[in-house]
Structure 1
Amino acid sequence: MSQPYPLISCICITSNKAKQLEKAMDCFTTQNYPNKELVISYPNNDLLSKEVVKHRQQDETLKIMQIERAEKESLGNARNHAIAKCSGDYVCLWDDENWYHPSRLTYQFNSMQIVGQRYQASVLSRIFLFDARLKKAYVSFPYNWYRTMLCRKEILLQNQNTNAYRTEDTHLITFLSGRKLLYQIDDTPFLYVYIYHGTNTWDHKYFEYFVNKSELLDEELTERILKMIDN
C-alpha cells in the first residue's frame, strides 16, 4: 500500500545568498506537509551557506541534505545532480529567491490526487510578483511557471535540465502537458511570491517582461504581501 503522504524532496540551488537561503529554509520549516526533505546545493567555496545549513541541521526534526558542488557547475547540472541524489518520490523546486505559503506542498500534492486521472506533476499558473525595490506587487497572467513545479522524481530523471547557468526548462512543461500529466493550478496565487530584489538569477528585463503582462495590485494587497514575506 502506498504512503498517503509520499516523501517530497525540495531542491534548493543556491550560491552566496546566505540571508535569502535562511528565508527559504524558514519557508520549508513552516510547510504543513508531513513528509518532506530539503536538498541544498551550494558551491564548495560558499562558506556562509555551509554554516547556515550546518546550523539548521542541528534541528533533528528536519530532513536536510547538503551537496557541495564545483564552483563553476551550471544551474542545470546542479539541479540534475540534486534530483538524482534526493530520496523523495516527488521533487519540488525551491528557489532561494522567493517566498512560499506554509500550505504550498500540501495544496500542490493534494490537487494532483483526482480520482480517475493520472497526473504526475502540478504547476502554479498564477502567482504573485513582488518588486522589493519599488514595493510594488502584481498577480501574474496565466503562465505555467516552471519554477513552481512539483513532479514525480522518475519523470525528472528521464527529462533532465539543460546544462545552462540560467534555465527555465519549458521542454518538461511541454512533455507533461502533451501527455495530460500536468495539473495546472490557477486560483491560488498566494502560494508563491516571486520576489525581484536586484540580484536574482534572471535579470530585470526578464522580471519586467512578466510584470508588463500582469495586474498591478492596490496598496492594501501589496501591504499584505509585504507583511507575509517579512514574517
Structure 2
Amino acid sequence: MKTQDPLISCICVTKNRPLLLQRAIACFDMQDYPNKELVISYPVNDLVTKSIIDQIEGLSEIRIVRLERHDTEKLGTSRNNAVLAANGEFVCFWDDDDWYNEDRISQQFMVLKDGPFKASILMHVLMHDSEIKESYYSLYHYFEGTLLCEKEILLQTACLDLDRREFSPIVPFLLSKNALFHIIERPELYIHIYHGNNALGETHFNYFLLQSTPLQKEVNQQVLNMTNLDYYHLKNLTE
C-alpha cells in the first residue's frame, strides 16, 4: 500500500433532501484528511440537489464528482455506479442523512495505512432519533454504511440492485478475504440519524435502539447541537 495520502472518494447517493445533503457536504468539507473527493449521485430531474451543488462549487474548492441517474434506479445500483465513477484509490460511503466527525476518514484510513487490511468498518456508532431527540451508544454490529474500502477489492463484489439491504454481500466478501479491519471504540466518528424517512424504517431503527445504551443528557445535547439542521440553508435552490 502506498505510504502517502491516496485519493479517497466519498460516495453520497441522494434525492431531494436539501438540508440533509448540505449537512453531509459540510461534514465532508470539515474532514482533516487532505486528499478527498465527494461523488454525489442524484436523479436527473432533482433540480434542488443540482442547485445546491452549483452553489457549493461556486463558493468553495470542494472536489465534487456529479453523477446524474434515472429516477427509477435502485439505491444499490446507484452506489455501484458511484463507485465506478470514483477517481480514488479508496472509497468511503457517505450517507446523506448521517453526521460525521472531522477525523472519520483519517481515522478509518490510518488503520489500513501500511497494513494488510483493505477495508475498515465501525462496529459501534452513535445513534440519534431526531423525532424524540434522544441519542444512544449502539450495539456491536457491522455498520455497513461506515465502510471505507480499497476500490480495487470493492469492485470484486457489489451492492445488490435493491433499495434496502443492498450492502448485504459486501461485508461477508471482505471477511472471506480477511480484508476487513474492525474499529471497535470510536463511535463518535459517526452519528446514524433516524428522521422518519430513512431507507430502513422505524422498525429497523427501533430494533437497534432496544439493544443500545442511552447517552447521558450532556452528551445527548452535544449530539443535538452537532446534528442541528438549522445551520444548513442555501437560498434560491430552484433558481
Counterparts in 2 of 1:30-69, with a 5 A limit? 30-59=30-59, 61-69=61-69
The answer (yes or no) to whether the contact 1:147–1:168 under 8 Å persists in 2 is no
Q: Give the conservation status (yes or no) of the 8 Å contact 2:77–2:161.
A: yes
Percent identity over the alignment is 38
**CA–CA distance in 2 between the matches of 1:133 and 1:201?**
16
Q: Deviation at 1:202?
A: 1.4
Unmatched tracts of structure 2, length 5 or more: 232-239
Choose which of 191, 194, 199 in structure 1 pairs with 2:189.
191
Deviation of 1:139 after TM superposition, in Å, equals 0.5
Unaligned stretches of 5+ residues in structure 1:
none
1:112 paired residue number: 112
Q: How does 1:1-231 map to 2 (within 5 A)?
A: 2=2, 4-59=4-59, 61-113=61-113, 117-230=115-228
Give the AA of the match of 2:44.
N
C-alpha distance after superposition, 1:25-77 (max 9, x if no partner): 00000001000000000011111001001111124521101111001000011
SS at match of 1:129: strand
Write the letter of the residue equivalent to 1:208.
N
In 2, Cα distance between the equivalents of 1:82 and 1:167? 17
Task: Check the 8 A contact 2:108/2:121 in 1, yes or no.
Answer: yes
Displacement of 1:198 = 0.8
The separation in 2 between residues aligned to 1:84 and 1:198, in whole angstroms, is 30
Q: State the alpha-carbon separation in 1 of the partners of residues 64 and 194 from structure 2.
A: 26
Q: State TM-score, norm by structure 2.
A: 0.92
Look up the equivalent residue of 2:202 and give its one-letter code: H
Kindly indicate whether the alpha-carbon contact (under 8 Å) linking 2:75 and 2:166 is maintained by their aligned counterparts in 1.
no
Using a 3 Å threshold, how does the CA distance of structure 1 residues 215 and 168 change in structure 2: closer, same or farther? farther
Cα contact 1:77–1:163 (8 A) shared by 2: yes
**How far is the alpha carbon of 1:178 from its aligned partner?**
2.5
Q: CA deviation at 1:4?
A: 0.9
In structure 1, distance between residues paired with 2:58 and 2:109: 28
- Distance, in Å, in 2 between the alignment partners of 1:170 and 1:29 is 29
CA contact 2:126–2:191 (8 Å) conserved in 1: yes
How many Å apart are 1:168 and its aligned residue?
4.2
Number of matched pairs: 229
What is the CA-CA distance between 1:3 and the residue it aligns to?
A: 5.3
Q: Secondary structure at the match of 1:57?
A: helix
- Which has the higher mean CA deviation after the structures are superposed, 20-29 or 161-170? 161-170
Instruction: Sort the Cα spacing of 1:59 and 1:176 in 2 relative to 1 into closer, same or farther, 3 A.
Output: same
- The answer as to whether partners of 1:146 and 1:168 remain within 8 angstroms in 2 is no
For residues 105-152 of structure 1, the C-alpha deviation after alignment (integer angstroms, 9 at most, x for no partner) is: 000000122x6x410000000000000010110001111100000001
Counterpart AA for 2:169: H
Q: What amino acid maps onto 2:129 in structure 1?
A: D
User: Higher mean Cα deviation, 24-33 or 163-172?
Assistant: 163-172
Q: Which runs of 4+ in 1 moved over 6 A?
A: none
1:34 counterpart SS class: coil
Cα RMSD for the two superposed structures? 1.4
